[in-house]
């Protein structure tokens, strides 16, 4: 057994909750580029009900989102937080749905277009790096290997596989364009779902055969 670099107290049973990690744009809310006005954030049809179904099964619902707008000087981090407040409000109002935690990466490296000196940096948190999933797992006792990631980009699936969790590509947002090779790069998701409701349905079926904590 190699303990090199492994924190004291960590073992394979350290995380035991199953999570559904959710990308934001194109999954929970309609893809609309950089959203400069909070009122322009609108839910994908059925997304709120899908999250509520996951909530009801005791799954930890966790937003993980690249948000490079602040690094590009499009708007401050407080604007991203305001968008997330609206997202949570809409989820609750429509279906009583809840996100248990929200993680986002506001940084972007200089070569990729980051110009805000405070945020123009490479980060382990930026997808397809796994930092957001690792942080969430540590802070909320999650078992990444039994968890799911739902996204609309190849980089969402890459992050899922980099972290060892199941990657589901939805066909909303950029998903359809990814599948036909018109956006980003080829990817091999573990499942392709029409949208978040279909992804939630598949997740619940997978979990029907294993106990939840």
Cα–Cα distance for residue pair 102/138, rounded to 1 Å: 14
The contacts of residue 143 (CB under 8 Å, 6+ apart) are 15, 16, 17, 18, 19, 137
Site size with Mg ion, rule: CB under 5 A: 5
Q: Under the criterion CB under 5 A, does residue 23 sit at the interface with Mg ion?
A: yes
Neighbours of 127 (CB within 10 A): 24
Contact between 25 and Mg ion per CB under 5 A: yes
Catalytic residue among 25, 143, 152, 195: 25
Burial of 107 (0-12, 13-18, 19+ CB in 10 A): buried
Identify the three-state secondary structure at position 56: helix
195 binds Mg ion (CB under 5 A): no
Is 152 tagged catalytic?
Answer: no
**Residue with the CB atom nearest Mg ion in the bound state:** 26
> What's the closest the beta carbon of residue 189 comes to Mg ion, in angstroms?
13
Residue 23 a catalytic site member: yes
- Please report how close the Cβ of residue 1 comes to Mg ion at its closest, in angstroms: 38
Provide the binding-site residues for Mg ion, judged by CB under 5 A.
23, 25-26, 152, 173
């Amino acid at each position: 057994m190699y303990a090199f670099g492994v924190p004291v107290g960590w073992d394979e049973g350290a995380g035991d909750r199953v999570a559904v990690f959710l990308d934001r744009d194109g999954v929970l809310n309609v893809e609309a580029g950089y959203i400069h006005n909070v009122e322009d954030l609108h839910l994908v049809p059925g997304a709120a009900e899908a999250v509520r179904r996951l909530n009801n099964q005791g799954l930890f619902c966790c937003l993980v989102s690249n948000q490079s707008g602040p690094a590009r000087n499009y708007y401050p981090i407080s604007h991203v937080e305001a968008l997330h407040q609206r997202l949570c409000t809409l989820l609750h109002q429509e279906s009583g749905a809840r996100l248990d935690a929200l993680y986002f990466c506001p940084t972007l490296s200089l070569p990729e277009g980051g110009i805000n000196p405070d945020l123009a940096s490479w980060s382990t948190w930026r997808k397809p790096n796994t930092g957001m999933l690792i942080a969430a797992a540590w802070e909320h006792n999650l078992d990444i290997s039994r968890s799911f990631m739902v996204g609309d980009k190849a980089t969402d699936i890459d992050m899922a596989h980099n972290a060892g969790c199941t990657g589901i590509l939805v066909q909303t947002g950029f998903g359809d364009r990814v599948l036909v090779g018109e956006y980003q790069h080829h990817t091999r998701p573990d499942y392709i779902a029409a949208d978040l409701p279909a992804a939630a349905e598949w997740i619940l079926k997978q979990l029907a055969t294993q106990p939840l904590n």
